[in-house]
Amino acid sequence: MSSRREQARANPIPTRCLDDLLGPAEGGRETLRPSRAAREARKVPLQQLKPAQLLTLLHEGIGLAYILPFAVDVAARDPWARVEFHPGDLLLAVLSTDPTHWRPGTRTRQQMVLLAKSAQRKLAGRPEAERSPATEEDLVAWLAALKLKK
């Protein structure tokens, strides 16, 4: 089995931050400027991003091609975890990303499908107080749409 250092050499992306991969955050019109939380998250190595930072980047659409696999991995650990707003908010943010980031045949799409199915199976065991009907409806709709676009 390889060490983390060997894995980092084989795939340097997890040890790099979005500022390294995308270039420094650009200024511009105030409405398009990333939030302070997003600017700070851009400086954190991808493998060290916390769930709240991933959620922020997903909501702001920053570096999706890089962060989506990390967000899927985090959401897979507990799809119904409340990161900031409601149970399953990271799951919903992942499923709400632009479908071009999870085209058929890609590893990320396979992971997302497994994540969505796992989340759906775990619904029955969740107490009512820990459920989010809107997120559950979005999950069902996402799975239904996915089946139509296989």
pLDDT tens-digit profile of 17-60?
999 998 876 544 344 688 999 999 999 999 999 999 999 999 99
pLDDT band at 109 (very low <50, low <70, confident <90, very high): confident
How many degrees, rounded to 5, is the angle at CA 137 between CA 64 and CA 49? 30
User: Of 94, 96, 59, 102, whose CA–CA distance to 74 is shortest?
Assistant: 94
pLDDT value of residue 150 = 40
Residue 101: its pLDDT value, please? 72
Q: What is the pLDDT of residue 65?
A: 87
Average pLDDT, the chain: 79
Average confidence (pLDDT) over 127-140: 74
Residue 16 vs residue 2, higher pLDDT:
16
Spatial CB neighbours of 122, under 8 Å, sequence gap ≥ 6: 79, 80
* pLDDT score for 45: 96
- Look up the domain containing 72 and give its range: 4-148
**Number of structural domains, the chain?**
1
Q: How confident is the model at residue 11 (pLDDT cuts 50, 70, 90)?
A: low
User: Who wins on pLDDT, 4 or 88?
Assistant: 88
Q: What is the DSSP letter of 34?
A: P
pLDDT: which is higher, 133 or 25: 133
